[in-house]
Structure 1
Amino acid sequence: MAAPLPLPALHATHAGIWIAGRGEGEPREASRGEAIARAAESPHIILNAPLVGQRLGYPDLSGLDILELFAFVHPARFAVPTVAGMARAVGLQPPESEAGAAGLLRSVAAALLDDLEKPDWKEREGAWTSSQSLARMGWTWAPLIASRLERPERGERMLFSRLKQWEEVADRPPPRTVVVDPVRARDRLRDLAGSRSELRAGQAAMAEEAASVFAPRRQKDAPNMLLAEAGTGIGKTLAYLAPASLWSEAAGGTVWVSTFTKALQRQLDAEGPRLVADPGERARRIVVRKGRENYLCLLNLEDALQGAFAGRAAILAQLVGRWAAYSKDGDMVGGDLPGWLPSLFRRAGATALTDRRGECVYAGCPHYRRCFIERAERAGREADIVIANHALVMINAARAREDAPQRIVFDEGHHLFDAADSTFAVTFGGQDAIEMRRWIVGPEGKSRGRRRGLSARLMDVASYDDEGASALDAAVEAARALPSDGWLQRIIEGSPFGPVEALLGEVRGMVYARAKAQDAGYGLETELAEPDGALVAAAIKAMEGLEALQKPLAALGRRLEAVLEDAPDWLDSQARARVEGAINGVSWRREIIAAWVALLARVGGSADPEFVDWLAIERVEGREYDVAIHRRWLDPTKPLASAVLKPAHGVLITSATLRGGDGSWDRAEARTGAAHLDSSVGRFEADSPFDYAGCSEVLIVTDVKPGDAAALAGAYARLIEAARGGTLGLFTAIQRLKTVHSRIADRLARAGLPLLAQHVDPIDAGTLVDIFRDDPRASLLGTDALRDGVDVPGESLRLVVMERVPWPRPTVLHGARRMAGGGSAYDDAVVRARLAQAFGRLIRREGDRGTFVILSAAMPSRLLSAFPTGVPIRRVPLDEAIAHVAATAAGTHLPAAAPEAVG
């Protein structure tokens, strides 16, 4: 083992603060004041500076962050960002105590620095050049790294020259017409599962049934469609991959497998070796696809590396540059970039490294041939299996993209309604309008960075055509009437600039006049009904301004299309790709503006029964950040069925809770869009193989008073202590989560039970789940994002606690859907679905055991059908619930009263 680095180290948790000083012997406990003073005086080795700074109440804490060093030494490599996780990553034993963790930080740092001198260090190329740049920026690790890196005899290649280029290939021919034999699907499933695995009856039956999805379509707008509810533990992933892989091989076509969560995307990607053993072949045949905004933009990175970023953001850019050279696919959100890396820099600069603004210049970019986004799109066209997400599938289909999928498997299908609701929504607000202005006009005033307006991106193309240049100038001039920086303050002060800001000022006034007071954590809203004259007049003026912008954009689009048709001498393949990209970008913005115009026409007109429209002030903890008019489909599965399902040839929609916990196939068809198809839809169900009655129970606590924060926090603390950690706490309100965490985190930490919290800890949700999964004594508090898609099997999750019945929040949108969906019956269906999803976190693998607790005596018996058949459900006081949890944690069982009958 490497000798500990002779530098001081600082470790801080909710349990206390420990310092391992230079030459001070064993680590010792310190006060907050001493720790802050020492850290300010000289750099200490720490792990996760923002988190430690939060623990100390010193947000500006900086030092020698182990995580930054790990990101430099081993870019694109996964490690849990805890002392124990870092220790295992470098081959050391995790610490036995918090005090030991402080001392171990020095050994971890020494081991990482020693890796730099090992002859088999795989990430050597580019390290010396990057370290020199980081040294000039004053990065604290740079001197220690420089002492261990020798200057290469030959100069290192630039990052961008080391990246793999993609090649142009001919378009893939249409897939052949084939039929997948159900028996062959079962045989393929057996191959995928492995000879030592025994096929589950439900899994085999699902593979055979799913084969029908890949049969030739019988008529237009009538896809072969199957709804499949497969309980947890069935193994539905391999069940649908078996026929999907058979079809793709025989037909030479692509199957898109779509998920709602990044966690399932990673899980599906991990199944790749079962389908294709050879890594090179697997990379060609199985591709992960996401939206453009998820990938690193190399042009943005180049600008950042050349000085567009300053301070900590510049250091992040260098570390991202190190990662880019070793990344599998350049995915910055959920890919192999450590999720914790951007949070170390408080996200300074991270979003600016992706193409979130849609400013891509396509073939006009010097890195076009190495672009991660272009590579992923092209790889997806040639792949057998594309692993994507619901939003990307819907957007590609809605925009009639050439790679819109024809064979689709929607896993996590119970989220299709929500995904469609978001994808087909229209929002016209200050933030949306200012982004449109920036995309067209470009940087103004003192703004910095690579942002370029439409003129800068297209002037050389438009210069060949006077009419195109005139349209471009007119579009830029019209866009100047949209909101600009400082718009919100101007409308608050009553001095708006331009017709759109004037409209938003009227919207804000009406919301405050009509909205009911709500929790500080939420915004304010009111339905768009009976608008006053001032609002109608302002909407007409704003609509005229948007129409004035639409016309030159339409003219510009026509001129760009004419360039492709006339094909001048300078229009080579790269220039053609650039013009095509510009046409797509302009068309997309025109569609957005057209939707805004249609929404504003509604302000002074009659309501459309297909839509729900409302006015809102968006707030975070009481602070305003946007004012907007919203439009949602009353039933978003209508555009889903029209744009995605009907054009497809085969669709499989599957989930463990597809019917929402109430067993209704009608609900499943309504929530997935199947109800809007004229053709018949297949149904399949397979119950979970788990013995829920023997391995789980549901406890409804009857004596925790609603609204009593102290009682709620005390209940959580006692339950977590009884379970000895391993608890997932689910909240319906962020403020209550924060209140509970603040009251119990120190108490639990002193008992050796770490408490993690979404919306509290400066760590992304995915990384919080990684830490929770890694430590069986840890517990995690979260909201909706953790109610579904979290896969934590085994000892790390043995108790789920919900703080109350998860009733829908009474918004304008919910009110409209509730009225259309049957009133209280609609609410009940929503709650049953949420309960079923939350309970699904508890038992993930054979051998898991656990307890599900609801801290609300107001839990109606009619909703208990959300839980699996046979699960004991009991109403008990808190003390008895704690005794049950403790007995389960100890591996024993308490005698109990008869379970409640499900109403």
Structure 2
Amino acid sequence: MPDSPTTLPPLRALLTTAVEAVGGSERAGQVEMAEAVAKAIRTGEHLAVQAGTGTGKSLAYLVPAIRHAVDREATVVVSTATIALQRQLVDRDLPRLADALAGPLGRKPTFAILKGRRNYLCLHRLDSGPQDEPEDGALFDPFAASRLGRDVKRLHDWAEDTKTGDRDELVPGVGEQAWRQVSVSARECLGATRCPVGTDCYAEHARAEAGRADIVVTNHALLAIDALQGYQVLPEHDMVIVDEAHDLVDRVTSAATAELSASAVHIAARRSGRLIDQDVADRLDESGDGLGMLLDDAPAGRLDALPVPLSGALQAIRDSAHACLTAVGPERERGGEPEDATARKIARTALEEVHDTAVRLLDAFDTDDAGRRDVVWRTGDAVMASSAGRHAGAQNPRPPTLRVAPLSVSGLLRERLFGQHTTVLTSATLALGGTFDTLARQWGLPPAQGKVTKADGTATEKAPPSDVDNGPQWTGLDVGSPFDYARSAILYVARHLPPPGRDGLQPSYVDELTELVESAGGRTLGLFSSMRAAKSAAAEMRDRVDFPILCQGEDSTGLLVRKFAEDETSCLFGTLSLWQGVDVPGSALQLVVVDRIPFPRPDDPLSSARQRAVEASGGNGFLTVAATHAALLLAQGAGRLLRSMNDRGVVAVLDPRLATARYGGFLRASLPPFWTTYDRDVVRAALRRLVATDGPDDED
């Protein structure tokens, strides 16, 4: 973007005002990042910034973004991966910034949050729209049915008071089945001009507010949908800031994943059967029965070839769904009451999803292995229906389902994100193995062009790739962290232990964990590669130590983290969400234990297919896919330890491969520069000193 004359204060002055307003102190990395974001705005060159914990990266990108939005009367989209960061931005950071910068900017900056339509209450669906059928299990479960009824009544009561219709305002929340009774997806919506209560629509109001805002906060899923769909979801904008960018590929992949089950076919048949000749709907219903029987007999896992019977079932679903769509007729046909139009729209949406997914599944096998763009697998059986069900201990497995996901989203991001908007990507974890190139390839950016600058001003020289002129121009910047990692924390690798086995925690691992927990006086976050390992460790520790042991799944994760933070002697054990979702500064967390390097499961359909595709093109599939996945999680997990300037502690990795395997150097280079040791006596002594002083410890 070309420079233009402006009367607004310079960026540095605005940043100083913002930092003072939030009660913080200016940091060199924060200033460097803010200036880099401002440069990206001026030049249109994309920017990837690694900013360690404590940098203050939110202000570093918000201040230049707000200045640009006010100066150009433009909109900047800020996308996050987690609800926690969304709430931090909307409830804390942006309100304080708006007040602080109103005077210097000449007006108060505005901001809004925008979510997918399914996150807002639909007034038409609430009052007169058709109701969804209960899930199969609820038909025969009186408790589930009564709970559904109670939840729907709560929603009707809440609808009388809510001003925004935002699902997140309803505390405690309701189950997904209940929420579907009062919400619609974007494809199911009649549209504001056709809906009888369109002028009062919460989703439309949120979108209108976003269209007037300087800063719009959204999530990676909606950002992906905006890129995937043929219609605009986000308001007009000229810049995107992707925070928590390490999660971008996974969230976009999830948004681009479709699934087909017998249940989905039956629901589409029932919805259309109310509108068309029953014989036509029955043919679709029967094709769903055929799919269900085949999936019941099929093993879980990736499908490298499409069996003939399954191909026939998918073709039957495709053709019968098309016949139902033809019978239902166009969306705007027949006029009549709004209720009729709604029923037809919802039926068409279900039919189109079934039809389009069947077509996509069939098309996935139309090319040879080298030309495939989608991965197909069968899942179900042991997969729990929801996290709520897991917390409640409910045994409610999902029915067998076919899923189809893109082998890569790099082309989509390259064309629909970087090709259309100046983009800043930031996270505490972007430089894997010491370089941005690993994630850049996943994003669709060419390898680092020229130099990747580090916080100390040095640069890593990179030979320009052959296609550098054909790819989006971007710069990588590592602004470091205000934390003195080498003096604040120890990385301990238990090199003396045997490699981890496949049958849970080995006795030697449990012994090592016991010694570490006792030395730390509790105060331990245990990050495990599986829930089975976490539960096993919790059971063992409860027999061996006197400290409270909390385990994920025994209560809501938020409540467990709160208990862990309040009791300094407690330990919290868990799996994936704890690797990235715990923020507990202070002495309640002084030891992070990782049981094994978090590689994806060898039988994971998507990662194994991606690994095979890399190898087929002559690359190192293990390093590109599996080791990259592990490096991201390992860095995120290690990042749980130091959350404030005074924090001290130990990250202990029980898996000796971090020290002994050839790929160990790549993984260690992805971690903060902790002081490293393999001596367990040194580590136990350091932990005991922390307990004794109950405060900062400046010695190794």
Per-residue CA deviation, residues 12-65 of structure 1 (Å, 9 max, x unaligned), is xxxxxxxxxxxxxxxxxxxxxxxxxxxxxxxxxxxxxxxxxxxxxxxxxxxxxx
Amino acid corresponding to residue 323 of structure 2 in structure 1: A
Is 1:769 aligned to 2:535, yes or no? no
Q: How does 1:330-341 map to 2 (within 5 A)?
A: 330-332=165-167, 335-338=168-171, 341=172
Q: Residue 214 of structure 1 aligns with which residue?
A: 41
Is 1:543 aligned to 2:318, yes or no? yes
**Which of the residues 443, 454, 473 maps onto 1:672?**
443
Is 1:528 aligned to 2:299, yes or no? no
Q: How does 1:556-571 map to 2 (within 5 A)?
A: 556-557=330-331, 559=333
Report the Cα offset of residue 732 of structure 1: 1.2
Given that 1:426 and 1:596 are in contact with CA atoms closer than 8 Å, whether structure 2 keeps it comes out as: no
Given that 2:268 and 2:350 are in contact with CA atoms closer than 8 Å, whether structure 1 keeps it comes out as: no
Given that 1:428 and 1:596 are in contact with CA atoms closer than 8 Å, whether structure 2 keeps it comes out as: yes
Is 1:617 aligned to 2:379, yes or no? yes
In structure 1, runs of 5+ residues without a counterpart are 1-174, 218-223, 442-452, 456-472, 484-497, 513-523, 564-569, 897-903
Report the Cα offset of residue 259 of structure 1: 0.5
Q: Residue 727 of structure 1 aligns with which residue?
A: 524
Q: How does 1:112-191 map to 2 (within 5 A)?
A: 184-191=10-17
Amino acid corresponding to residue 587 of structure 2 in structure 1: E
Q: Residue 499 of structure 1 aligns with which residue?
A: 287
Report the Cα offset of residue 233 of structure 1: 1.6
Per-residue CA deviation, residues 412-431 of structure 1 (Å, 9 max, x unaligned), is 11111111211112323334
Question: Would the alpha carbon gap of residues 837 and 278 (structure 1) be closer, same or farther in structure 2, given more than 3 Å must change?
Answer: closer
836-845 vs 816-825, which moves further: 816-825
Q: Residue 491 of structure 1 aligns with which residue?
A: none
Measured in 2, the distance between the counterparts of 1:870 and 1:360 equals 51
Per-residue CA deviation, residues 209-263 of structure 1 (Å, 9 max, x unaligned), is 112333486xxxxxx4211122222111101101111122122222111001111
319-328 vs 696-705, which moves further: 319-328
Question: Would the alpha carbon gap of residues 869 and 371 (structure 1) be closer, same or farther in structure 2, given more than 3 Å must change?
Answer: closer
TM-score, reference length from structure 2: 0.78
Is 1:228 aligned to 2:49, yes or no? yes
Q: Residue 117 of structure 2 aligns with which residue?
A: 292
Amino acid corresponding to residue 436 of structure 2 in structure 1: W
Is 1:654 aligned to 2:447, yes or no? no
TM-score, reference length from structure 1: 0.62
Q: Residue 247 of structure 2 aligns with which residue?
A: 415
Question: Would the alpha carbon gap of residues 658 and 299 (structure 1) be closer, same or farther in structure 2, given more than 3 Å must change?
Answer: same
Measured in 2, the distance between the counterparts of 1:503 and 1:316 equals 32
Report the Cα offset of residue 311 of structure 1: 4.7
Q: Residue 835 of structure 1 aligns with which residue?
A: 634
Q: Residue 786 of structure 1 aligns with which residue?
A: 578
Q: How does 1:486-885 map to 2 (within 5 A)?
A: 498-509=286-297, 511-512=298-299, 524-529=300-305, 531-552=306-327, 555-557=329-331, 559=333, 586=348, 590=352, 593-603=355-365, 606-607=368-369, 609-620=371-382, 625-648=398-421, 650-660=422-432, 662-675=433-446, 678-701=471-494, 702-703=496-497, 706=501, 707-708=504-505, 712-713=509-510, 715-716=512-513, 718-745=515-542, 751=546, 753-758=547-552, 760-763=553-556, 765-810=557-602, 811-819=604-612, 820=614, 821-826=619-624, 827-859=626-658, 860=661, 861-866=664-669, 868=671, 870-877=673-680, 881-885=683-687
Amino acid corresponding to residue 285 of structure 1 in structure 2: T
Given that 1:806 and 1:834 are in contact with CA atoms closer than 8 Å, whether structure 2 keeps it comes out as: yes
Amino acid corresponding to residue 265 of structure 1 in structure 2: Q
Per-residue CA deviation, residues 685-727 of structure 1 (Å, 9 max, x unaligned), is 2111210011111112334774446655555455344333432
SS at match of 1:841: coil
Report the Cα offset of residue 310 of structure 1: 7.4
Report the Cα offset of residue 370 of structure 1: 4.2
Question: Would the alpha carbon gap of residues 347 and 818 (structure 1) be closer, same or farther in structure 2, given more than 3 Å must change?
Answer: closer
Amino acid corresponding to residue 388 of structure 1 in structure 2: T
Measured in 2, the distance between the counterparts of 1:796 and 1:367 equals 51
Report the Cα offset of residue 313 of structure 1: 5.0
Measured in 2, the distance between the counterparts of 1:732 and 1:207 equals 36
Measured in 1, the distance between the counterparts of 2:350 and 2:7 equals 42
Q: Residue 377 of structure 1 aligns with which residue?
A: 207
Report the Cα offset of residue 838 of structure 1: 1.0
Measured in 2, the distance between the counterparts of 1:669 and 1:885 equals 38
Measured in 2, the distance between the counterparts of 1:625 and 1:251 equals 50
Q: Residue 402 of structure 1 aligns with which residue?
A: 232
Q: Residue 99 of structure 2 aligns with which residue?
A: 277
Measured in 2, the distance between the counterparts of 1:586 and 1:177 equals 49
Per-residue CA deviation, residues 517-561 of structure 1 (Å, 9 max, x unaligned), is xxxxxxx213232x44433433433332243345456x514749x
Measured in 2, the distance between the counterparts of 1:321 and 1:178 equals 52
Report the Cα offset of residue 327 of structure 1: 5.4
- State how many pairs are aligned: 630
Measured in 2, the distance between the counterparts of 1:480 and 1:180 equals 66
Per-residue CA deviation, residues 601-622 of structure 1 (Å, 9 max, x unaligned), is 4457645624243331312279
Question: Would the alpha carbon gap of residues 552 and 621 (structure 1) be closer, same or farther in structure 2, given more than 3 Å must change?
Answer: closer
Report the Cα offset of residue 667 of structure 1: 1.4
Measured in 2, the distance between the counterparts of 1:327 and 1:283 equals 26
236-245 vs 673-682, which moves further: 673-682
Amino acid corresponding to residue 757 of structure 1 in structure 2: C
Question: Would the alpha carbon gap of residues 317 and 585 (structure 1) be closer, same or farther in structure 2, given more than 3 Å must change?
Answer: closer
Amino acid corresponding to residue 399 of structure 2 in structure 1: D
Is 1:887 aligned to 2:679, yes or no? no
Given that 1:617 and 1:624 are in contact with CA atoms closer than 8 Å, whether structure 2 keeps it comes out as: no
Given that 1:536 and 1:604 are in contact with CA atoms closer than 8 Å, whether structure 2 keeps it comes out as: no
**Which of the residues 228, 252, 261 maps onto 1:429?**
261
SS at match of 2:48: strand
Amino acid corresponding to residue 16 of structure 2 in structure 1: R
Amino acid corresponding to residue 726 of structure 1 in structure 2: R
Measured in 2, the distance between the counterparts of 1:867 and 1:724 equals 29
Per-residue CA deviation, residues 88-142 of structure 1 (Å, 9 max, x unaligned), is xxxxxxxxxxxxxxxxxxxxxxxxxxxxxxxxxxxxxxxxxxxxxxxxxxxxxxx
Amino acid corresponding to residue 887 of structure 1 in structure 2: R
Q: Residue 250 of structure 1 aligns with which residue?
A: 71
Amino acid corresponding to residue 696 of structure 1 in structure 2: A
SS at match of 2:652: strand
Given that 1:612 and 1:813 are in contact with CA atoms closer than 8 Å, whether structure 2 keeps it comes out as: no
Given that 1:540 and 1:601 are in contact with CA atoms closer than 8 Å, whether structure 2 keeps it comes out as: no
Amino acid corresponding to residue 788 of structure 1 in structure 2: Q
Larger Rg: 1
366-375 vs 817-826, which moves further: 366-375
SS at match of 1:619: coil
Measured in 2, the distance between the counterparts of 1:279 and 1:297 equals 36
Measured in 2, the distance between the counterparts of 1:655 and 1:399 equals 27
